[in-house]
């Protein structure tokens, strides 16, 4: 079966760019600068479902996403997580956190989303920071 | 400065084994089979503070921890996360999740801990699954 993005990820995010392994998405929640990386490999649910090479590639792209958020937002902390309890397609959250943000010091999941009023400039800045044109 | 384990991690966990890069700990919370991997590198807070080689090594050891939890517990899902909002020493949570567990389908953080009555057999089983003797 070929890869296609999970409908829930499609619905909750904007596309930012394509890296060699992952599609990079921006969560439509302006409370937190929040990227999601989805390896374009069909039928994977766990990190360990990927080949060892793809795992390393994923971590390299997660690191790139961390650097991009650091460059654009200068956060106090980065949160990186592969949970997938609700969406059964392997995806990694990379989130910029601030000591004064809406969830600090707790994790961000479970709070109501605050959709972007204008997402295009944010997407553009992140895309550039991720090396996309 | 040389590496030493953060006092909060020391207090909340039991030692399981030492892998080449990471010290592996068991969270003293019997509600969830919950390992924590701490790279023995001083003064690191973010994944991207590690060298690219150490990042790959960390992911290999996280994968080993995932496999060990899978072998011992046959969980429905694995959760992997590097948050570090409260403990400022780089550490990665690797948690076995079940569709009927105390937090499902939400993340595990923020719930009260239920300390183990008898942790030794659990630690022994996990240590063996991680290749330790």
Give the model's pLDDT for residue A124. 97
Give the model's pLDDT for residue A6. 98
Give the model's pLDDT for residue A44. 98
Give the model's pLDDT for residue A120. 98
Give the model's pLDDT for residue A133. 63
Is the pLDDT at B1 greater than 90, yes or no? Answer: no
Q: Determine what percent of chain A is predicted with pLDDT higher than 90.
A: 98
* Residues of B in Cβ contact (< 8 Å) with A104: 85
* Residues of A in Cβ contact (< 8 Å) with B79: 81-85
In chain A, where the domains are located: 7-98
Distance CA A58, CA A52 (A): 10
Q: How confident is the model at residue B55 (pLDDT cuts 50, 70, 90)?
A: very high
CA dihedral A97, A100, A102, A108 (to 10 degrees): 30
Give the model's pLDDT for residue B34. 98
Is the pLDDT at B92 greater than 80, yes or no? Answer: yes
Is the pLDDT at A71 greater than 90, yes or no? Answer: yes
Residue of A nearest to B50 (CA): A63
Does the global pTM surpass 0.95?
Answer: yes
Across the range A47-61, mean pLDDT stands at: 98
Across the range A102-109, mean pLDDT stands at: 97
Is the pLDDT at B12 greater than 90, yes or no? Answer: yes
* Residues of B in Cβ contact (< 8 Å) with A48: 63, 66-67, 70, 78
Is the pLDDT at B27 greater than 80, yes or no? Answer: yes
| A119: its two tokens | 């997402």
Across the range A5-16, mean pLDDT stands at: 98
**Residue A86 in contact with residue A6, Cβ under 8 Å?**
no
Give the model's pLDDT for residue A132. 75
Across the range A91-101, mean pLDDT stands at: 98
Q: Determine what percent of chain B is predicted with pLDDT higher than 90.
A: 98
* Residues of B in Cβ contact (< 8 Å) with A66: 46-48
**Residue B25 in contact with residue B38, Cβ under 8 Å?**
yes
Question: What's phi and psi for A59, nearest 5 deg?
Answer: -65, -35
Distance CA B23, CA B10 (A): 11
**What residues of chain B have any CB closer than 8 angstroms to a CB in chain A?**
45-48, 52, 55-56, 59-60, 62-63, 66-67, 70, 77-86, 97, 104-107, 109-110
How is residue A112 annotated by DSSP?
Answer: P
Across the range B49-67, mean pLDDT stands at: 98
The count of other CB atoms within 10 Å of the CB of residue B37 is 23
The answer to whether the Cβ–Cβ distance between B83 and A86 falls below 8 Å is no
The architecture that CATH gives domain A7-98 is 2-Layer Sandwich (3.30)
pLDDT, tens digit (0-9, with 9 covering 90-100), for B108-124 = 999 999 999 999 999 99
Across the range B11-30, mean pLDDT stands at: 98
Give the model's pLDDT for residue B133. 63
């Amino acid at each position: 079966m070929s890869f296609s993005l999970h409908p829930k990820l499609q619905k909750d995010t904007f596309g930012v760019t394509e890296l060699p392994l992952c599609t990079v998405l921006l969560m439509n929640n302006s409370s937190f600068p929040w990227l999601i990386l989805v390896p374009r490999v069909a039928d994977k649910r766990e990190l360990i479902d990927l080949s060892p090479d793809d795992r390393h590639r994923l971590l390299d792209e997660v690191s790139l996403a961390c650097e991009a958020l650091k460059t654009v937002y200068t956060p106090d902390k980065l949160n990186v997580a592969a949970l997938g309890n609700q969406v059964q397609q392997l995806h990694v959250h990379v989130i910029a956190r601030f000591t004064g943000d809406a969830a600090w010091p707790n994790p961000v999941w479970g709070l109501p989303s605050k959709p972007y009023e204008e997402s295009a400039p944010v997407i553009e800045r992140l895309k550039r920071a991720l090396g996309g044109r």
